[in-house]
Amino acid sequence: KQSGALKRKLQSPRGNPPVKRKRKLSINTFRKGATEADRREEGRSSRKPVPKKQLTDKQNESQKKKPFVKTSSLFKNNPDIPEIQRKEVQQVQENVFTTDSFSQLNLHPHLISTINTVLNICSMTSVQKQTIPVLLQGRDALVRSQTGSGKTLAYGIPLVQSLQGMESKIQRSDGPYALVLVPTRELALQSFDTIQKLLKPFTWIVPGVLMGGEKRKSEKARLRKGINILISTPGRLADHIKSTECIHFRRTQWLIIDEADRILDLGFEKDVAVILNALNAVRETRQNVLLSATLTEGVTRLADISLSDPVSISIADEIQKVPEPASQTEREASSSSNCMEQENFAVPETLQQYVMMVPSKLRLVTLAAFILQKCKFEKRHKMIIFFSSCEQVEFHYELLVKVLSGGSEPEQPGRSPLSSVSLQFLRLHGDMEQEVST
């Protein structure tokens, strides 16, 4: 019944059969003999073409959405290099070497023989000639001389001469008779090696070294056995003063602060104050020596608190006595005047200095070219490059290793000659672990 009612509903009122929906036919269906390819072609041609102006507008819009990157030429459009106003400066000259021999000094014959044979040194340097007689007289001294002029022997020779000539023979268990402070572990090892060679004829005097990066347990064991000449960095010695019970300075007669300007630059001023307080607590009378390459305000302040009626020794000047100012105002005035007088310091005569002004974006390529010129294309040289931060050291190290030394990439035929450059790069900065940096 339902199907019959549906049929009657779809039928027209006149009784005609229901009308079927007809499908629209394209023109291709009425063409006789038209192939499928022809029909596709006609369909494409029926589409409306897009104007070129509309296409360019869309392309411009898409380009605007992308970030604009400007490619700058490395060797073009560089700023003009300004002219440097060079002032005529009178270079401070220091006569490093002399013709005087150590035999002219009042030294033990075995000590002179050791200097000549073991150290293979016959004549004194200027700083040694002026410093050794003053220290043999038992005076405090403020020594100012350039790096590498022989300051270690300048205080080491009178120190050994004084200790070996003591009436009561030194025992190892007596503890430190002399304390030498140096800024770095490398200089501590170097100074220890020099003092050890000077003590070769005097075996009863025992030297020792304390420095960062070593085991405290083994250092404490050496301190218990006894060390007569103690060479140490300020930080490690201050740590032992606070934590090691067996260390004492009851018999300490010498205090030597070597490279005082570098000690202060590295931030050891508080550690030096701890050491001075520990020394003054048990023994105030001793011979003090302060050595520095430059006489800064900090070095002058350290000399005021550690030296007593010192003799000022400067290679560029004559030896003159520095009177101790009576008041604090006079002391500060003399400190500032000394700093102004010693503003210019001497550099080694063999050191050649150059300045090159380059645009900022050419600094890296200039540095790479300079490295190649000095270390590859000329005679083999060693080079030290200083940067202003640890991050810059890491960046340039990685870059130069990959570009100039080839990194770990295998050799490929047809590559430029730079790929075969055999250069070895090393890095050193303050963020490195102690085991890696040494």
Q: Which CATH number do you get for residue 296?
A: 3.40.50.300
Task: Report helix, strand or coil for 285.
Answer: coil
Whether 330 and 388 map to the same domain: the answer is no
Q: In what order do the strands lie in the sheet with 178-181?
A: 207-210, 229-232, 178-181, 254-257, 287-292, 141-144, 311-314, 320-321
Q: Strand pairing of 311-314 and 320-321?
A: antiparallel
Domain stop point among 313, 341, 369? 341
Domain assignment present for 262: yes
CB 393 within 8 A of CB 429: yes
Other C-beta atoms lying within 10 Å of the C-beta of residue 16: 8
229, with CB counted inside 10 A (0-12, 13-18, 19+), is buried
At 149 the pLDDT is: 84
Same-domain check for residues 158 and 205:
yes
Co-location of 304 and 378 in the same domain: no
Encoding tokens for residue 283? Answer: 């023994």
* pLDDT, mean of residues 75-91: 74
- Cα(324)–Cα(328) distance, integer angstroms: 10
For the chain, percent of residues with pLDDT exceeding 70 = 70
Mean pLDDT to the nearest integer, 319-344: 47
Residue 38 · residue 28 · CB < 8 Å: yes
Sign (positive or negative) of CA dihedral 222, 223, 226, 231: positive
Residue 69 lies in a domain: no
| Same domain as 378, residue 333 | no
* Amino acid 91: pLDDT: 66
- What is the domain range of residue 248? 97-341
Tokens of 358: 């380059």
Query: Does residue 157 surpass a pLDDT of 90?
Result: yes
Provide mean pLDDT across the span 106-116.
94
CA distance 243 to 416: 60
Which tens digit of pLDDT belongs to each residue from 234-253? 999 999 999 988 899 999 99
In this structure, are 196 and 279 located in the same domain? Answer: yes
| Antiparallel, parallel or unpaired: β 178-181 and 254-257 | parallel
Instruction: Tell me, yes or no, whether 9 and 150 share the same domain.
Output: no
Name every residue whose Cβ is closer than 8 Å to that of residue 333 and which is 6 or more positions away in sequence.
Answer: 325
Strand-pair partners of 328: none
- Is residue 236 helix, strand or coil? helix
pLDDT at 311 over 60: yes
Asked if 177 contacts 228 with a C-beta cutoff of 8 angstroms, the reply is yes
Q: Does residue 52 belong to any structural domain of this protein? A: no
Are 375 and 289 members of one domain?
no
Indicate if the pLDDT at residue 274 is higher than 50: yes
Asked whether residue 80 is domain-assigned, the answer is no
The size of the chain, in residues, is: 438
**Which range is least confidently modeled, 59-73, 270-284, 385-399?**
59-73
Instruction: Say yes or no: 209 and 135 in one domain.
Output: yes
**Residue 288, token pair as written in the block:** 């003090």
In a domain, 81, yes or no: no
- The stretch 407-434 carries a mean pLDDT of 68
Q: 377 exposed, middle or buried (CB, 10 Å; 0-12, 13-18, 19+)?
A: exposed
- Report residue 68 as tokens: 């604009």
Domain boundary among 45, 60, 77: 45
Give the whole-angstrom CA distance, residue 42 versus residue 427.
73
Within a domain: 72: no
Q: Are 135 and 164 within one domain?
A: yes
Together in a domain, 315 and 369: no
Please give the pLDDT value at position 137: 94
**Strands 123-125 and 207-210, sheet pairing:** unpaired
Gap between the Cα atoms of 396 and 391, Å rounded: 9
In this structure, is residue 349 part of a structural domain? Answer: no
Helix, strand, coil fractions of the chain, as percent rounded to 5? 45, 10, 45
Assess whether 118 and 208 both reside in one domain: yes
How confident is the model at residue 19, as a pLDDT? 53
**Residue 287 in domain:** yes
The structure tokens 């490295």 sit at 371
Smallest Cα–Cα separation from 166: which of 217, 204, 112? Answer: 204
Band (pLDDT 50/70/90 cuts) for residue 335 is very low
DSSP annotation string for 81-124: PPPP------------EEEEEGGGS---HHHHHHHHHTS---EE
Instruction: Decide which of 287, 312, 341 is a domain's last residue.
Output: 341
Q: Do 387 and 264 sit in the same domain of this protein?
A: no
Q: Please tell me the total count of domains within the chain.
A: 3
